């Protein structure tokens, strides 16, 4: 069994290779190669806002693999300098159940999420996209800057964060323009990535230029929301998984509750577009929006890639498992 800590994951999950792995797994999912149920949330009475999230997946095709991600969510950690998400991802052989690898869940999630956003941007954004706005200056903000630079090396990046000093420091470190407001960051942007912990909408329809592509990444619970219903209604909406978006996305559920959209407003899953079953963007002036929640098959594919690279390079910690 291999142990892959955060440092090893950063060394083994090359962004471009991870984008390719995410592309392959979305196609596999669209073709029925995975069983990936909705995540389970465990939150005993009196423990709110703390809780545990479980995300299982099984690849039914060869090579058969089981995977589960477990994370304890403790929002108060941020005040003590700790990541609010703490947990591991476990990869099992799909035939005999042997544990093949255990990895740091927050780092794996951060890296594969940014790779998925990059894939969605390549799929839905206009080919001439050159201005990118990153809304959020945390770990996902930094990794999304790296992801956007990897796929749009000539792009001009603007960054906004809730804490101006933190956002300014990240902007200096990464060569971004620090924006004084969300509106200033996203005005005339070709691509917008929201990677915040917002519980109420922060992105408005009338701030966006025609043809903009939005990656809505930050909200992953029914109670969290970054996108106002009017924007959800105006945009062509694509998702990673329909079932999850309708059940778990606060962005989608709030728009549904407001009567701004119906369930049929979801155009397609990303995998369906990659397979050619849906055309994706239909015109240069269309606003496209990709709602990202994440699911267990993505963790499985990212951990497989990290494990294979670690073994080839002699990285990670090998542990005897009897």
Give the C-alpha separation, 183 to 176, whole Å: 16
pTM of the entire structure?
A: 0.96
Give the C-alpha separation, 249 to 101, whole Å: 30
User: Which among 131, 59, 142 is positioned nearest to 100, based on CA atoms?
Assistant: 59
Tens of each residue's pLDDT in the chain, 322 residues: 999 999 999 999 999 999 999 999 999 999 999 999 999 999 888 766 788 999 999 999 999 999 999 999 887 887 787 888 899 999 999 999 999 999 999 999 999 999 999 999 999 999 999 999 999 999 999 999 999 999 999 999 999 999 999 999 999 999 999 999 999 999 999 999 999 989 999 999 999 999 999 999 998 889 899 999 999 999 999 999 999 999 999 999 999 999 999 999 999 999 999 999 999 999 999 999 999 999 999 999 999 999 999 999 999 999 987 6
The residue ranges of every structural domain in the chain are 2-108+297-318, 114-294
CATH number of 114-294: 3.40.50.720
Q: What DSSP state is assigned to residue 34? A: E
Superfamily of domain 2-108+297-318, CATH level 4: ornithine cyclodeaminase, domain 1 (3.30.1780.10)
């Amino acid at each position: 069994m291999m142990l892959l800590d955060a440092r090893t994951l950063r060394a083994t999950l090359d962004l471009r290779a991870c984008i390719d792995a995410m592309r392959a797994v979305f196609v596999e999912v669209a073709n029925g190669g995975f069983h990936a149920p909705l995540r389970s949330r465990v939150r005993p009475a009196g423990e709110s806002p703390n809780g545990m999230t479980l995300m299982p997946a099984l690849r039914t095709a060869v090579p058969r693999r089981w995977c589960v991600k477990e994370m304890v969510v403790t929002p108060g950690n941020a005040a003590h300098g700790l990541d609010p998400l703490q947990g591991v991802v476990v990869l099992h052989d799909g035939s005999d159940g042997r544990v093949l690898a255990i990895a740091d869940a927050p780092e794996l999630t951060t890296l594969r999420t940014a790779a998925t956003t990059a894939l969605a941007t390549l799929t839905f954004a206009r080919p001439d996209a050159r201005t990118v706005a990153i809304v959020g200056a945390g770990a996902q903000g930094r990794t999304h800057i790296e992801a956007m630079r990897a796929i749009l090396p000539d792009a001009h990046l603007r960054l906004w964060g809730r804490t101006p000093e933190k956002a300014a420091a990240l902007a200096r470190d990464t060569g971004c323009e620090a924006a004084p407001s969300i509106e200033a960051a996203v005005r005339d942007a070709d691509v917008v990535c929201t990677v915040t912990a917002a519980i109420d909408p922060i992105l408005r329809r009338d701030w966006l230029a025609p043809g903009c592509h939005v990656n809505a990444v930050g909200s992953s619970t029914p109670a969290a929301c970054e996108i106002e219903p009017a924007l959800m209604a105006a945009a062509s909406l694509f998702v990673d998984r329909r079932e999850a978006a309708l059940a778990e996305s606060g962005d989608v559920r709030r728009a549904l509750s407001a009567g701004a959209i119906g369930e049929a407003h979801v155009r397609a899953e990303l995998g369906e577009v990659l397979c050619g079953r849906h055309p994706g963007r239909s015109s240069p002036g269309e606003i496209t929006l990709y709602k990202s929640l994440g699911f267990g098959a993505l963790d499985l594919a990212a951990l497989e890639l990290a494990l294979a690279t670690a073994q080839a390079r002699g990285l990670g910690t090998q542990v005897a498992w009897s």
